Chains A and B, each alone.
Chain A
C-alpha cells in the first residue's frame, strides 16, 4: 500500500514536470486582459457623424448587443476621385486616386499630399513584397513598407519605405485596375484583358489571359488566381513552370464582376457563390452561381470593393459600393448568411475600403474619405501556456 502511494506521488511529480498547465499558478501567468482598443481620433468635420449599431459576430461569446459603428467624413483636401486605400494598424494610411493623387493621413495635420511622380489616375494600391527570408520584421519595418500602385495608361509607381516615389515601366499602355500578390511577384490586370506581372526586383512582363474583356478584380479563389471583369468574364490562372497560365472560364453571369472574395464573386447587381463539390483531389476548378441569400441585398447595387477584419471579438467583411452603400457580412462559417446593407448619408460612390480591428477608411468620388471607428470592441483574452 505504501509502495503504491509512493508510486502515485512519483508519477504526479513526473507529470508536473511535463505539464506546466496543471500547476496551480497557471491562471495567474496569463497576465491582464488586453486593453479595449480605441479607434483613431477622427479628423472628421461632420457635425453629427452617422452611427449605427451592428453585431459582427455571435459565436465564441461575442457581444450580442452589437458595437457602435461611427462613420465620419474627413477633409481630404481634394475633389479628385480617390480609388484605393491601404491602412496599416497603428501605422500609415495611404490613399491614391485620379490625376496622380496620393494622400497620407497625419493624425495632427490631416491628409497630406504626396507626389507620386505621375499625373495618371491611380486605381489600385498594395504593399509591395519586401521582407527577405529569415529577416526580422521590426515594428519600424512593419509600419513603413514599400507600396505599389497602378493606374491609367499602364502606369505603375513604387513608393519606397522612405517615402520616395518612382515610376516603373509595365510594358503596357492599358489602364490597370487591380493588383494582387502571388508569392514574391505582384500581378496587375486591366482594360482589354491585359495582365502584367512584376518581379520582386521591379521587372514587369506580360501574361497572356486569352481574353480581351476588361478585368477589374484579381484574387485567389479555389486554388487559383482568379481575375473577373466585364460581362461576367472570369479567368483562372495557375503557376506552371514558374509562369502564370491563364484560361478563361464560361461567364457565370452577364453582369460586370468587380469583387472576388474567395468563394464569392460580386459586382453589378450580382452576388455569386461557389458551387460546393465533394470530388476528391485534385479538385475541379471552382464554379459560381447566383447566391439566393444575397439577392435582396445586391439588387440594383454595384459592389466595388471589400475588406476583411478578423480579430478575437470582431470578424466580418465590409464591402462598399455606389451611392454610399456598405455591406457587412459575418465571416465565421455559421455567419456567412448574415448580410446587412447600410446606406450611409454620403452620396458618394465608394471605390475602395480598408478595415482593421476598430478602424476603417472608405474612399470614393469627389475626394470622399470616410473614417469608420468601431466603439466597444472587447478583444478575446487568449492565453497560451
Chain B
C-alpha cells in the first residue's frame, strides 16, 4: 500500500502547532516591557488614549482572551492621598476593552495584586468602585480579547454613592443597630464580632463603618473608661444619641490593636461605636472586585474610674 506523506506531515504539523510560539502582535522581541507606569491618572480628570499605540506594560491578567505576552495596554499610576472609595468609569470607544486595578504590593509581598477588573464592549460604559487606602496603585487599560485595541476614555472620582464601600453613615442602617445594641456594662467585658458594612455605624475617627454598636446605660453621671482590642486597628467612639455627635473618639495608632477612651458621661443611655481605621486585607489570590471587607473579633472592657 502506497501512502502519500502529505497528510501525515499535515497532521504532525497540526499537532506541533499547539506547542509553537505565536509572534506577538505589534511587538518585536526587543520591545522592552514597562515595569513602572508612564501615565498618571488624575482624580476628576478624563484620560483619553488609543491602545493601538500601546505602552507594552504589564497587561491585564483578567482579560477574556489574548495571547501570552500580548500587552496592547496603557499603563497608569494612580496615587491615592485619602482613604475612600473611588469610582473608575471606563468607555472603550472602538474596541472590546478591560480595565484592571492593581495593588503595587507592599514590601512584604513584592509583585502585583489584582483588586478590581471590569470589561466593556465597544462604545459601552462600565464603572468600577473600590475602596483604597493612601498609596500608589496601578490601572491597566487593555483589550479584553485577542488583538483588541482602540480609543477609550477613563475617569476616576471619589465615590460617595450608596453603593460605595466607604461612605458616611446611613441613618436608616444605623438606627436599627442602636435599637438592638447589646449592653456594655462597667466592670464587665463585652465580646463582639465586627463586620464592615457600607453605610453602617462609623466612628468619626474611624474609616470603614460596620454593625458594631453597643449601649452604655448609666444610672448616674460617671467617668467611664473603655478599652477595646481587636484583630483589626479599632476606633472607638461614645455618643449620647444614636445619631449624635461624638462625645469622644479615639483610634489605635498604626500597628496597634488596642484603643482606650475616657469620658465624663451624664446619667442615661449612651452609644458606643466600634469601627476600623483600616480597610480589610486584600484577597491574596487577587479579585475582580475586592471590597476589602473585615470580619474580626473584638472585646471592650468597661470600667468606672474616679473623677
Contact = CB atoms under 8 A, between A and B. Distances in A.
Interface of A: 2-3, 6-7, 9-11, 14, 210, 236, 238, 240-241, 245, 247-250, 279, 281-285
A285 B283 CA distance: 17
Contacts of B231: 236, 238, 240, 245, 247
Contacts of A250: 191
Nearest to B294: A282
B168 to A, nearest CB: 23
A284 B8 CA distance: 60
Interface stretch (B52-60, B129-137, B241-249, B296-304): B296-304
Nearest to B281: A282
Contacts, number: 65
Interface string B129-164: 000000000000000000000000000000000000
B279 to A, nearest CB: 11
A interface, by DSSP: helix, strand, loop or mixed?
mixed
B293 interface: yes
Given A10-B12, A240-B231, A285 B280 contact: no
A248 B4 CA distance: 79
A2 B1 CA distance: 10
Contacts of B11: 6-7, 10-11, 14
A6 B12 CA distance: 11
A284 B4 contact: no
A248 B189 contact: yes
Q: Which of A2, A11, A241, A245 is the most central at the interface, judged by chain B CB atoms within 10 Å of its CB?
A: A245
Contacts of B299: 210, 247-248
B191 A284 contact: no
A14 B12 contact: yes
A285 B193 contact: yes
Contacts of B20: none
8 contacts: A3-B4, A7-B11, A10-B12, A210-B299, A247-B297, A249-B297, A282-B280, A284-B295
Contacts of B283: 281
A7 B7 contact: yes
A249 B191 CA distance: 6
Q: Which of B3, B10, B296 is the most central at the interface, judged by chain A CB atoms within 10 Å of its CB?
A: B296
Given A210-B229, A250-B191, A285-B193, A279 B7 contact: no
Given A2-B3, A249-B191, A250-B191, A282 B293 contact: yes
Given A248-B299, A282-B281, 18 more contacts: A6-B3, A6-B4, A6-B8, A6-B11, A7-B8, A7-B10, A10-B11, A10-B12, A14-B11, A14-B12, A238-B231, A238-B296, A245-B230, A247-B297, A248-B189, A250-B191, A283-B295, A284-B195
B171 to A, nearest CB: 26
A249 B10 CA distance: 69
Contact of B296 (A7, A210, A279, A285): A285
Interface string B245-260: 0000000000101000
A241 B255 contact: yes
B15 interface: yes
B264 to A, nearest CB: 26
A240 B231 CA distance: 8
Contacts of B1: 2
A6 to B, nearest CB: 5
A210 B189 CA distance: 11
Contact of A236 (B12, B255, B293, B297): B297
Contact of A14 (B3, B15, B195, B229): B15
Interface string B191-213: 10101000000000000000000
A248 B195 CA distance: 17
B230 A247 contact: yes
Nearest to A250: B191
B3 A245 contact: no
Nearest to A247: B297
A279 B195 CA distance: 11
A108 B204 CA distance: 72
Contacts of A7: 7-8, 10-11
Interface string B1-41: 10110011011100100000000000000000000000000
A10 B8 contact: yes
Contacts of B3: 2, 6
Given A10-B8, A249-B191, A282 B255 contact: no
Given A210-B229, A284-B195, A285-B193, A247 B7 contact: no
| 7 nearest A-B pairs in the assembled complex, by CB-CB distance | A10-B11, A14-B15, A250-B191, A282-B295, A284-B295, A245-B257, A6-B7
A247 B12 contact: no
A120 to B, nearest CB: 32
A3 B7 contact: yes
Contacts of A249: 191, 297
A241 B252 CA distance: 14
A364 B297 CA distance: 37
Contacts of B7: 3, 6-7, 10
A120 B42 CA distance: 66
Q: Which of B4, B7, B280 is the most central at the interface, judged by chain A CB atoms within 10 Å of its CB?
A: B7
A248 B283 CA distance: 25
Contacts of A6: 3-4, 7-8, 11
B92 to A, nearest CB: 30
B56 to A, nearest CB: 33
Q: Which of B1, B295, B298 is the most central at the interface, judged by chain A CB atoms within 10 Å of its CB?
A: B295
